[in-house]
Structure 1
Amino acid sequence: MKSIEIYGTGCQKCEQLYENAKIAISELGLTCDIKKVTDITKIVSAGIVLTPAVAVDGNIQFSGKVPAVEELKILLQEECKS
């Protein structure tokens, strides 16, 4: 099962990224562990400078932008192949 982390402090963009990720996962029929990371210490420790950010299995994929549902679906399809 893939682990998806949404990094952000709870701003509107961070919430939108979380919602987009949930939609992408649902539309692809995937089972993923998705969690929000809001602790600033953990965000900085992950090497994230700009939020929101999304990581799949600990690898930062997007930072400083809100990828569209379609972008996330492409990412998740690629990640699930590996």
Structure 2
Amino acid sequence: MKRFEVLGSGCANCRKTAELIGQVAAERGVDIDLKKVEDTAAIVAAGVMATPAVIADGEIVHAGGVPSLRQVEGWF
């Protein structure tokens, strides 16, 4: 199971990013653990300066803006 964390304030771009990850996972039949992190202290502690950010299996793979479909597919 792949683990994803979407870090951000809960804004529209953060929600869209989480939806996109869920969509790609469903299309590929991959089970994921998707967590939304909205706590500012936790986001800063993760070393993220731009949101939304995505952590995949413990590694920051994206920061700032909604990732492209191609980017998300690459995380799988």
What TM-score range do you get, normalising by the shorter chain? over 0.9
- Counterpart contact for 1:28–1:73, Cα < 8 Å: no
Q: Quote the sequence identity (%).
A: 38
CA contact (8 A) 2:56 2:75 kept: no
- Checking the alignment, whether the CA contact within 8 Å between 1:14 and 1:52 is kept in structure 2 is yes
Measure, in 1, the Cα distance between the counterparts of 2:23 and 2:68: 10
Structure 1: gaps (5+ residues): 77-82
2:19 and 2:45 map into 1 onto residues whose CA distance is 24
Quote the residue 1:38 is aligned against.
38
Q: With the length of structure 2 as denominator, give the TM-score of the two structures.
A: 0.93
C-alpha deviation, 1:65, in angstroms? 2.0
* Greater share of residues in helix: 1
Q: CA deviation at 1:23?
A: 0.3
Cα-Cα RMSD: 0.9
Counterpart residue number, 2:52: 52
How many residues are matched? Answer: 76
